[in-house]
Amino acid sequence: MSCKFRLLLENADQLVVICQKEEEFLLLEGMQHLVVLEKASLVIGNDGYIKAIGPTETIHGQFSHAEFETVIDCSGKCVLPGFIDAHTHPVWAGDRVHEFTMKLAGATYMDIHQSGGGINFTVEHTESASEEELFCSFKQRLERMLRAGTTLVECKSGYGLKLDTELKMLRVIERAQREMDIGISSTYCGAHSVPKGKSVKEATDDIIEHHLPALKQMALNDEIHVDNIDVFCEKGVFDLESTRQILLAGKAIGLHLNFHGDELNPMNSAELGAELGALAVSHLEEISDEGISALAAAKCSAILLPTTAYILRLKQPRARDMLKAGVIVSLGSDFNPNAYCFSMPLVMHLACVNMKMSLKEALAAATINAAYSLGRSHTHGSLEVGKQGDVVIINAPRFVLTNLM
């Protein structure tokens, strides 16, 4: 082993490891027992991966002859894994502030959507924006997410709908993956809305016959690498059958299934996600009891989005029922022109206050479980040797009271 390392975080009051047995996710019981080391240190190697973690004295002894590029004294501070934002729509042009006024006056999300606003408004502005403009605003948004402690973020396309604009968005995401110091999981969301002038069937066929083969070819050419496929499964958008067809076609080209469901109307989306082997379904404000059982049995994560229920005044997702039933609960900011939130700390806060999750449950949902929902829990979501060294240092001595655990 080389004697040069990138970073030593020394003597943290609390080092919140989350879990230490290579767990892929935590369920209700595991969330109550997050692993927290006190007076502890952590070493990150030149490759960016965690090399050692343990009591300050032990690490001090083991690395007494090592050289570190940077040493940070974490006395009086608390170290957490970087937050993972499991659901965002961050590439777009054209704000929708006027829609907030309409909503305050009583319009619903679907009223606005059906009158050509909402997603379709953003689609028009994103189509006319240049790739460079989209990249610049996206970059600023990612920088703000990083400043709020997010180190891995799921980023969707979905304001293109036409193949060309979807590819423009995915190229912008790909460029950020290469150029920026934030981890990105890229999601093709061409079925985010039915394009003007097309029926659901025509849109579904276009995606299956043209978009997905193009993505497959671009992956083979090493041009664009997409991780997940998403569909907005909702009354008046993509119904259950078209959602199934699109997801199956995405699965056939190797994409993880991770889609919007049961948000405004009960659609049996959770049941569909479980049946198809989806990694995750997002929203779920209108999930059924059967949907909850199906997610638990299939180990399909529920990505809950407290900002959406807040801004649209929807009923809160049933986080407690899901946790009790054994569902893998994750969190995301749902950053988009309708829910303008960069901050996973705020998302965790809303999850606690509005969805009645505990601090520990919210942190596990924003780290190891969010990593699971993106198929990344082998490398992200906890501070374990061999995982990526993504950390947040907070200027406070504790995240949790260990004697109350």
Ligand X SMILES: N=CN[C@@H](CCC(=O)O)C(=O)O
Decide: is 256 part of the binding site for ligand X (CB under 6 A).
no
Decide: is 338 part of the binding site for ligand X (CB under 6 A).
yes
Give me the numbers of helices (H) and strands (E) for the chain, helices first please: 17, 14
Say how far apart CA 61 and CA 63 lie, in whole Å: 6
Say how far apart CA 301 and CA 280 lie, in whole Å: 4
Decide: is 308 part of the binding site for ligand X (CB under 6 A).
yes
Beta strands in 75-200 (DSSP E): 78-81, 83-85, 150-156, 183-191
User: According to CB under 6 A, which residues from 339 to 368 bind ligand X?
Assistant: 339
> Which range of residues in 67-75, 198-206, 242-250, 332-340 is near ligand X by CB under 6 A?
332-340
Decide: is 291 part of the binding site for ligand X (CB under 6 A).
no
Out of 11, 14, 41, 122, name the contact with ligand X by CB under 6 A. 122
How far apart are CB 352 and ligand X at their closest, in Å?
A: 21
Residue nearest to ligand X (CB): 338
* Three-class SS state of 396: coil
**Residue among 334 and 384 whose Cβ is closer to ligand X:** 334
**Residue among 187 and 382 whose Cβ is closer to ligand X:** 187
**Cβ 166 vs Cβ 188: under 8 Å:** yes
Decide: is 120 part of the binding site for ligand X (CB under 6 A).
no
Binding mask 72-111 for ligand X (x = CB under 6 A): -----------------x----------------------
User: According to CB under 6 A, which residues from 165 to 194 bind ligand X?
Assistant: none
Say how many CA atoms lie within 13 Å of 351 toward its Cβ: 28
Decide: is 263 part of the binding site for ligand X (CB under 6 A).
yes
How far apart are CB 227 and ligand X at their closest, in Å?
A: 18
How far apart are CB 243 and ligand X at their closest, in Å?
A: 13
Say how far apart CA 77 and CA 123 lie, in whole Å: 44
Decide: is 118 part of the binding site for ligand X (CB under 6 A).
yes
For the range 134-138, what are the long-range contacts, defined as Cβ-Cβ under 8 Å and sequence gap of 24 or more? 134/91, 134/92, 134/93, 134/168, 134/169, 134/172, 135/172, 135/175, 135/176, 137/92, 137/93, 138/90, 138/91, 138/172, 138/173, 138/176
What is the gyration radius of the CA atoms in the chain, in angstroms? 21
**Residue among 264 and 352 whose Cβ is closer to ligand X:** 264
Instruction: Write out the H or E segment, with its range, that includes residue 147.
Output: helix 131-147
Out of 337, 351, 355, 381, name the contact with ligand X by CB under 6 A. 337
Question: How many binding residues for ligand X (CB under 6 A)?
Answer: 13
Residues binding ligand X (CB under 6 A): 89, 118-119, 122, 232, 260, 263, 308, 334, 336-339
